[in-house]
Structure 1
Amino acid sequence: MTKVRWTRNAIKDLERIRLFLEETADSEVMLSEAKRIWDSCQRLRQFPESGRPGRIAFTREVIVSPYVIPYRVKKSVVEVLNIFHSAQKR
């Protein structure tokens, strides 16, 4: 089975999202959003090619609205690169 590896950037992005939601929403919303992101990335273990082709060569993107999560597949590892809000310029 494919493994999921989070880059430092992706971990930092998830932490930023958590902190933002902690300040602007209740803890239930914050936990729910974090779980949706985590679960979607974990599903890539079984379906690594399920995301749409990414904007950058050799990447794919999974959508967890309103977030876009670019990743790349290398042999038996899915590498989660970042987490962007869809309204964010990148």
Structure 2
Amino acid sequence: MCIITQFYSKGDLRKFIGEIQKLPEEERVMKVWAIVAQVIRSVDYLHSNNVIHHNIKPENIFLMEDGSVRLGDFKWSDSLVGDQESIVGT
């Protein structure tokens, strides 16, 4: 099997966290809020389609050159149907 994805030119959020520390506070805060808002919209979209990601972490949030964000690594995701409940993690 071969999985082809977009090229995430800015890498993942974990890498970006180190880089963003060098920015002036006001610019840093604006960039963080922009990323958080996009992640929230992504999760809201998934939940509205009955999908739970289960593994959101900086390494699974990818940044594009234009400032947009992509949520990746869906290998632990679940589709919720009916009254299904699950707990993952510790």
**Structure-2-length-normalised TM-score:** 0.35
**Structure-1-length-normalised TM-score:** 0.35
Q: Which has the larger radius of gyration?
A: 2
